[in-house]
Chain A
Amino acid sequence: MKRLIILSLLTMLVLSASGQKYMTKSGFISFVSNTPMEDIKGDNNQVAGVLDISTGDMVFQMLIKSFHFEKTLLEEHFNENYMESEKFPKASFKGKITNLASVDFNKNGSYEVLVEGDLTIRDVAKKMSVKGILEVVTGGVNANAKFTITPEDFNIKIPSVVRENIAKTIEVTVAMKYAPV
């Protein structure tokens, strides 16, 4: 009986313990396409993300319409023709830090991490493995990473007329500043 009570209490403790979560609603993600024909850069300053430091789970979510470009016409074409934001309004990433043990969240400093998970754009999920830097600072955690993606992987159709205007691989930059929830 005593064992049962202890067991139940321990189980409840684990299930209810949410772990320390860090969140942001104004994270930054940008992507760049550099070609001899044209340079395209889109910035999104409204990326939402949560980092659970006890499990290493990281999730990101953003509206495609929140990516802004220098040329408004380009932004309109990005949403209407390429990303079809009416059909696929959001992009998301669900992943986990694989080397969580090497990060000490109690000590300020920079830690190299490897995050593995699924990046979903236009309802196409692709397994990604991204190297990044987690910076533990007083009152929060910052995450920075750079990786590349290929438009064709996410069913983004680029007509041959403008194929040379868009790079074959797009470089994505992530900069998030998390605060404890």
Chain B
Amino acid sequence: MKQAFAVFLLILLPTGLHAQDDLMDLLNENAKPETVFTTATFKSTRIMNGHSIERMPMGQLDFRISHRFGTINSGAYEFFGLDQSNMHFGLEYGITDWVMVGIGRGSYEKTFDGFVKFSVLRQSSGAKTMPVSVSVFSSIAVNSLKWTDTERTNYFSSRLSYASQILIARKISQTFSFQLTPSYVHRNLVPTELDPNDLFAVGAGGRMKLTKRISLNAEYYYIINADNTYMSQPIYNPLSVGVDIETGGHVFQLIFTNSLGMIEKAFIGETAGQWIHGDIHFGFNISRVFTLQSKPGKPKAN
């Protein structure tokens, strides 16, 4: 009987060690598949000059300052472009988690601009899969330069330009994200009859994360209906390359680009410089996010 009892005890021994794993399995077998939404496709709301699908969450305010120096091929006297400056500042706010608005003012043609960006689809995996994130962007720009010809009738509407974009992006891996941006720009007033009021372009942009907080970004817009043979001023496709550096609540973007303007209407239709000629502007965007209003239902820091 003693022998049997000993065997009995030996059989009992291994069950204790597996017990905790069995409990874990119990948790996992009842788990429902959840939908996981992709976050942080890009580090900020801009890839370089153009918008990314990232939005300001509800109640958060983004203060952005953008700066473009003159072209590097201006020579040593202009200190390689650093002596000239063009700036844009903007305030961008998340009204809800899927609507963001912004206003800004840039020194390029003394333009005021406003935009709205809707997040329509979010990339997700798990229970519900969506391969891409899609946002819709729409903006108005008002150029406030004094009229050069005061003799003729000048209309206020001539100052306006509109830009609309559909932003389609995918976070392909933790390190690489890519975005396609079909765009439409309408200028109410153009220099001559041969210049198109409507411009169609397709943008492509991406980012590659180099470290947890630094990424390499690049963006190119191909303007479909620009024909420099008959337009009054040759325009070129904007190409921008740069680095995003994120520190706490700030994102710094260092940029090399052939566009001087920082809003859609300016960099898509009015880029007069070419990379191969050295018409490269160095610049930066600084983004600082403030939380104006915390989400309802979220914990309050105590």
Contacts and interface: CB of A to CB of B under 8 A. Distances in A.
A143 B154 CA distance: 75
B301 A40 contact: yes
A70 B248 contact: no
Contacts of B11: 11, 14-15
Given A14-B12, A57-B19, A81-B213, A70 B24 contact: no
Chain A contact-residue range equals 35 or more
A96 B295 contact: no
Contacts of B20: 57, 59, 94-96, 117
A3 interface: yes
B276 interface: no
Contacts of A49: 27
B33 interface: no
Nearest to B213: A81
Interface stretch (A71-79, A98-106, A122-130): A71-79
A59 B24 contact: yes
B299 A69 contact: yes
A23 B291 contact: no
A43 interface: yes
Contacts of B1: 3
Contact of B299 (A10, A43, A63, A159): A43
A30 to B, nearest CB: 7
Contact of A72 (B21, B60, B302): B60
Given A50-B27, A70-B295, A7 B39 contact: no
A7 B8 contact: yes
Interface in B1-30: 1, 4, 7-8, 11-12, 15-16, 19-21, 23-24, 26-28, 30
A146 interface: no
B55 to A, nearest CB: 10
Contacts of B26: 21, 23, 50, 181
Given A40-B301, A73-B57, A15 B294 contact: no
B152 interface: no
A76 B39 contact: yes
Given A41-B299, A73-B289, A73-B291, A161 B40 contact: no
Nearest to B36: A65
Contact of A42 (B289, B295, B299): B299
B174 interface: yes
Contacts of A117: 20
A110 B225 CA distance: 77
Which residue, A39, A65, A72, A76, has most C-beta atoms of chain B within 10 A?
A: A72
Contacts of B247: 161-162
A42 B298 CA distance: 9
A157 B7 CA distance: 50
Interface string A113-125: 0000100000000
Interface string A7-18: 100110011000
A3 B4 contact: yes
Contacts of A30: 299
B16 A55 contact: yes
B299 A68 contact: yes
Interface string A21-53: 101010000101000001111110000111010
Contacts of B27: 23, 48-50, 59, 61
A30 B299 CA distance: 10
A11 B36 CA distance: 44
Contacts of A71: 60, 291, 294
B62 to A, nearest CB: 10
Interface string B286-302: 00010100110011111
Interface of B: 1, 4, 7-8, 11-12, 15-16, 19-21, 23-24, 26-28, 30-31, 34, 36, 39-40, 57-58, 60, 174, 212-213, 246-249, 289, 291, 294-295, 298-302
